[in-house]
Amino acid sequence: MNRVGIIGYGISKFGKRTDASMYDLIWEAGSEAIRSSGVDKKDIDYMVVSNMGMWSSEELPAVVAGEVLGIKNAGLHRVEAACASGSSAIASAYDAIRSERSKIAIAVGIEKMNEVESETAIELIGRAGNFLWEYEFFGLTFPGYYALYATAYLNRYSGKEEDLALVSVKNHHYAHLNPIAHFGNEITVEDVMKSRYIASPLKLYDSSPITDGSAAVIMASEDIAKQYTDTPIWIDSIGSNLGTANLSKRNDFVHIEAAREAASKAYRMAKIDAEKPYRFIDGADVHDCFSIAEVLAYEDLGFAERGRGLDMLRNGETYIGGKIPVNVDGGLISKGHPIGATGVAMAVEASKQLLRKAEPGRQIDVKNGRFLTHNVGGTGHYAYVTVYSI
Amino acid sequence: MPGYIVKDEKTKNPVLLDLRELDIKYRIPVSRIEKFYQALDQGIIMGTKCPVCGARFFPPQAWCSDCGYSGEMEFYPLDTHGHLMTFTKIFAKPKSFSSFGDYTVGIAHLDKEDLNILAWIDESIQKPEVGMETVIKVEKRKEDGATVYFIASP
């Protein structure tokens, strides 16, 4: 079988990068990915760029990325799957290589969100979902969508806002060990509880920030990959699924069906027991755009039984040394969530962890040699679950 | 330094302040669901029903996503009695809602229709609770004069 492997990666510093343009960010991540892979950029024959756009001035970021990186003889397109755009870029490059349309591909994720002021960014991302029936008259925001899940979840399972705060405390802890993270400070439950409401019951510290950043990976077919490295990071499986545009068309607000289905497909392809997936993987990056989203992820991925996600947090089971370490890069909440770059950044993190190159204090124990990423677009509008291995 | 190069307030990094400005207002065609808006103006919320397979839809739509029928859908008034599934109060508002006060959005389940509706929760519900009984009411919203439906107390 013609496997597909990651042979190089790069990532920019995440944050409110008033010092760097979209071009600079693409260069930071893309040039590092190419350099670390050892490939000559002339041999890259396929390029895919994930970007949501809207808040940044360049309308065609994919062509910008090609020009910035000096890539000339590659097929090119841009992909959008909202916050899961990055994983869709990985999927697109994977498909191109598996179908033998490409031998060496580059996937670049880029988002420059701070070219507009926060209120406009809130406006633009709030429109992502169903504009006519959920935004035009009701002004739902992105935190608002997830807050609807949080209210329903806490009510159904008798959870407290203090429980959700534990997500942010854990992820800030690991972010402060990750030099590229947006935030570098540790926080307490009290800090989270004292922060202002954004969309009740979610508060500022329950939320991912508005982040600029870029990430890139070089991917190649198995025969080519082995010419460049003895340790490619293989993509074992990609499961993806869609969700309804209207949130109101979902049956309940205590799980994300698209993510559950994506996980089921990914586990089937990778021959992972969906009942106890944590026995087959060493760690995971999950889509914690808001604290509640990480809790839903535990359950949708089968790390916890339904309604028991908060217990994992209360028991510290998702710290390193626990049942399964989750978001030890700081997650979206603290590492930052540059929308189109996030899924590619997760691939970078999977690679670093499996190669045991994570910074001190946040390296997981690699036993099974597998790492999972869970990337949700919008509010369960798109979902990608990807299994990486070494 | 040219005038369009300004210092970022926090970091003091130089940024180019765009001289171009874009003001977008969409014109969204609604001819196939015009009946919905006509009824809304009379205080009635319409859903659509497929005459072939009986599937019900809200928001209203002019085709059947279930069986594939694309002829005339039946517009019918919804029985709006139901209960509140979830809610949130929006504090950090989008730019185009910045002149509004903080508002509460909810999703109500219409029990007899087995459909959900997302809308603002009106003032008749001071303390929303998951599971509480609700109806949908059409009102002229005081903030912008728009005719909209609200989740309300029966």
Phi and psi, residue A242, nearest 5°: -100, 165
Model confidence at A169: pLDDT above 70: yes
Q: Is B6 on the interface with A (CB under 8 A)?
A: no
Facing residues of B90 across strands?
A199, B103
Asked if residue B134 lies in contact with residue B82, where contact means CB atoms within 8 angstroms, the answer is: yes
- pLDDT tens digits, A251-267: 999 999 999 999 999 99
Q: Is B31 on the interface with A (CB under 8 A)?
A: no
What pLDDT sits at residue A67? 98
Lowest-confidence range among A113-117, A124-128, A297-301, A346-350? Answer: A124-128
What pLDDT sits at residue A206? 98
Q: Provide mean pLDDT across the span A198-210.
A: 97
Q: Provide mean pLDDT across the span A198-207.
A: 98
Q: Provide mean pLDDT across the span A310-315.
A: 98
Query: What are the b/e assignments for B118-131, b being 16+ CB within 10 Å?
Result: bbbbbeebeebebe
Q: Provide mean pLDDT across the span A347-375.
A: 98
Q: Quick check: B94 and A122 CB within 8 A?
A: yes
Model confidence at A165: pLDDT above 90: yes
Model confidence at A129: pLDDT above 90: no
Specify the fold of B79-154.
OB fold (Dihydrolipoamide Acetyltransferase, E2P) (2.40.50)
Model confidence at A155: pLDDT above 90: yes
What pLDDT sits at residue A1? 60
Q: Name the residue ranges covered by the structural domains of chain B.
A: 28-78, 79-154
Q: Quick check: B89 and A253 CB within 8 A?
A: no
Q: Quick check: B89 and A199 CB within 8 A?
A: yes
Residue B25: how many other CB atoms lie within 10 Å: 4
- pLDDT tens digits, B120-145: 999 999 999 999 999 999 999 999 99
Residue A109 tokens, joined: 């994720």
Residue of A nearest to B140 (CA): A137
Distance from CA of B8 to the nearest CA of A (A): 7
Q: Quick check: A18 and B10 CB within 8 A?
A: yes
Secondary structure letter of residue A156 according to DSSP: H
Nearest to A123 among B95, B119, B146 (CB): B95
What pLDDT sits at residue A105? 98
Q: Quick check: B28 and A132 CB within 8 A?
A: yes
What pLDDT sits at residue B25? 93
Facing residues of B88 across strands?
B105
Nearest to A139 among B15, B93, B130 (CB): B93
Model confidence at A362: pLDDT above 80: yes
Q: Is B15 on the interface with A (CB under 8 A)?
A: yes
Residue B23 tokens, joined: 């003001």
- Of A191, A16, A37, A159, the closest CA to residue A107 belongs to A37
Model confidence at A273: pLDDT above 90: yes
Q: What single letter denotes the amino acid at residue A82?
A: A
Asked if residue A218 lies in contact with residue A6, where contact means CB atoms within 8 angstroms, the answer is: yes
Nearest to B146 among A119, A134, A137 (CB): A137
Residue of A nearest to B20 (CA): A57
d(CA A122, CA A139): 10
Distance from CA of A218 to the nearest CA of B (A): 32
Q: Provide mean pLDDT across the span A354-364.
A: 98
Beta strands in chain A (DSSP E): 4-11, 46-50, 75-79, 104-111, 197-199, 202-203, 213-221, 233-242, 283-285, 370-377, 382-389
- pLDDT tens digits, A205-218: 999 999 999 999 99
Model confidence at A184: pLDDT above 80: yes
Q: Quick check: B94 and A152 CB within 8 A?
A: no
Mean of per-residue pLDDT scores for chain B:
96
What pLDDT sits at residue A2? 83
* Known catalytic residue at A289: no
ipTM for the predicted complex: 0.96
Nearest to B92 among A122, A246, A247 (CB): A122
Question: DSSP states of A324-385 as a string?
Answer: S-B-TT-IIIII---GGGHHHHHHHHHHHHHTT-SPTT-----SS-EEEEEEEETTTTEEEE
d(CA B68, CA A43): 47
- Top CATH class of A4-116+211-228 equals alpha beta
Asked if residue A47 lies in contact with residue A110, where contact means CB atoms within 8 angstroms, the answer is: no
Distance from CA of A201 to the nearest CA of B (A): 7
Mean of per-residue pLDDT scores for chain A:
97
d(CA B78, CA B45): 6
d(CA A267, CA A302): 10
Residues of chain B with pLDDT under 70: none
Please identify which of the residues A83, A182, A255, A374 carries the catalytic annotation: A83
Q: Provide mean pLDDT across the span A369-378.
A: 97
Q: Is B72 on the interface with A (CB under 8 A)?
A: no
Q: Quick check: B118 and A155 CB within 8 A?
A: no
Residue A11 makes CB contacts below 8 A (sequence gap 6+) with: A28, A29, A32, A180, A213, A214, A215, A216, A345, A348
Please identify which of the residues A182, A337, A374, A381 carries the catalytic annotation: A337
Residue A264: how many other CB atoms lie within 10 Å: 17
Model confidence at A276: pLDDT above 80: yes
Q: Residue A148: which H helix or E strand, with range?
A: helix A142-156
Residue of A nearest to B118 (CA): A248
Higher pLDDT, A128 or B109: B109
Model confidence at A332: pLDDT above 70: yes
Residue B99 makes CB contacts below 8 A (sequence gap 6+) with: B143
What pLDDT sits at residue A39? 98
Q: Provide mean pLDDT across the span A350-375.
A: 98
Residue A371: how many other CB atoms lie within 10 Å: 28
Q: Provide mean pLDDT across the span A137-151.
A: 97
What pLDDT sits at residue A322? 97
- pLDDT tens digits, A48-72: 999 999 999 999 999 999 999 999 9
Lowest-confidence range among A287-291, A379-383, B22-26, B42-46? Answer: B22-26
